[in-house]
Structure 1
Amino acid sequence: MTAYFAFRQPSSPGVEFIIELNDEAKIQKARDILSGKEKNTIHVHGRIIKRRQPYNPKFNFHLDPNTIDFFQMAIEVCDANMVYVEDHLDEAGGAFLPGGHWCPWDSQLAREVTP
């Protein structure tokens, strides 16, 4: 089973980032976040892959579906705006977003997407 979800960041108005989930428990968790059933671990994190995906065409990177999960709080070193990540993608994985781990603190799931 595969499902796609869009998230937004208030720091990037009008822009959405699409993620792919292929784990049934994580898909259910995302749906619970959207329905309001889950109120704590609601922000998206995962490891960046520097490659465009058809389901997320506005960005030259995506999140590895096997690493995506949801969090309540995370360390500051992995927090960044999606547009900033795109603009500094060549630096991601080094001092910027070490290990390619991205955890946008202000990420908010917006909707389930049909590709």
Structure 2
Amino acid sequence: MRGITLMTGIRACVLAVVATLVIVGVQPARADHDAEEAYFEVTDITTHTFVLKLTDPLQIAHARALLDGTTTERPHVFGRIVKRTASYNPRWSYHYDPTTIGFFDYAIEVCDATIPYVEDHLDEAGGPFLPGLLWCPWTSRLARELPAP
């Protein structure tokens, strides 16, 4: 019975995260297989860096607008992580699923973690830590656009 209650709680947390992010204006990425790809370096309060790949033209445009100062809205990165290394982000054992990446202003604490904390606790991700593998580091910010690998 306890396991059922825990799973119900985890599902409720995931739904709360998604609902909250929608309310605060997260723009989820669209799946567009013909879109260009763009790569960006992200940093956080720890000063570690993380590379993400964007494939949605709207998200690419938003990222570039953040970098050139055209906008300051939705400066933080959000998405679902995949627990394996990506060729463009070899330092870390996880990466964002490019089809889930968006940007946000504010989010709830359950999806917040620093880049190295996610690495150190990756085996716990998807349960009570980062439910649904949703990661929204509050101190994340784009540092620069990178050339395609």
Instruction: Say whether the fold is shared (TM-score over 0.5).
Output: yes
Highest CA radius of gyration, 1 or 2?
2
- Deviating beyond 6 angstroms after TM superposition, the runs of 4 or more aligned structure 1 residues are none
> Size of the alignment, in residue pairs?
113
Greater share of strand residues, 1 or 2?
1
> For 1:26, which of 30, 36, 59 is the aligned residue?
59
Match status 1:73 vs 2:78: no
What's the CA shift string for 1:69-89, capped at 9, x where partnerless? Answer: 000000110000110000100
Query: Are 2:90 and 1:85 aligned?
Result: no
SS of 1:84's partner is helix
Higher RCO (CA-CA < 8 Å; seq separation 6+): 1
Matched, 1:58 2:58: no
**Overall identity of the aligned pairs, in %:** 53
Point out the structure with the larger helix share: 2
Instruction: Output the amino acid matched with 2:123.
Output: D
Match of 1:5 among 40, 54, 58: 40
TM-score normalised per structure 1? 0.96
Q: CA RMSD in A?
A: 0.6
Name the TM-score, length of structure 2 as normaliser: 0.74
